Amino acid sequence: MTARATTAQAAAPQAGVPQGTASHGTTPNAEATGRRVEDVLDRLAQRGDREVSAAAEELVSVLMDFYGAGLARIMHHVGTGDDGPRPALLRDELVTSLLVLHDLHPEDTAARIGRALDSVRRQHAAEVAEFDADTGVLRLRAGDSGGCGCPSTADQAHQAVEAAVTCYAPEVTSVQWETAGATPEPALLQISRRPPTGAGTP
């Protein structure tokens, strides 16, 4: 994975994390950090100095490898106890984004999608209708969260849920919504004008 690819993945929106550049005393934001790195690499590339641009990308890759190895060590140690800090780490959106970025997250996609929905369930209830691992398409069914039901509120709820899913499960490429209470159309009945004639019937 190249430096640009890793920073692009890290730039996925983070649910529940204030947007903008991290400052002293605030929690680092994966989206803002990823976009800053991309911006710096783009500015270097526009200068036309290929050696400087290549060196910058190499530097990013080295740092990614370094803290990725550190994350792997952390997950190894917290996984050796009964529970310890592991549950809290997996609920942390920033830690989750880093673990997924380095393919270190111990939970599969379905579990992380469920964790994402749980993180916003009090305000925006949603249930999984279907997830296609081959295409990355996730179909969700909106639940009753007690809202007014107006389109603007529904859109905001959908955006909040999708942002959480992007954070916990970036392998989800798109989210499709089903109408609450919708039932599948009944199967079409094929009615024959006459019963089929059995073999050997005179």
Q: With beta carbons less than 8 A apart as the criterion, state whether 141 and 127 touch.
A: yes
Model pLDDT, residue 202: 47
What is the pTM assigned to this prediction?
0.56
Please give the backbone phi and psi of residue 91, each rounded to the nearest 5 degrees, phi first: -85, -15
Res 35: pLDDT = 82
Q: What single DSSP character describes residue 138?
A: E
Q: What is the pLDDT of residue 187?
A: 47
Orientation of helix 30-46 relative to helix 93-101, angle to 10°: 50
pLDDT of residue 33: 78
> Residue type at 202?
P
pLDDT tens by residue, the chain, 202 residues: 455 554 445 444 444 433 333 444 566 666 677 788 888 888 888 888 888 888 888 988 898 888 888 888 888 777 766 667 888 888 888 888 888 888 888 899 999 999 999 988 888 889 999 999 999 999 999 876 555 556 567 888 898 899 888 888 888 989 999 865 555 545 444 444 554 555 454 4
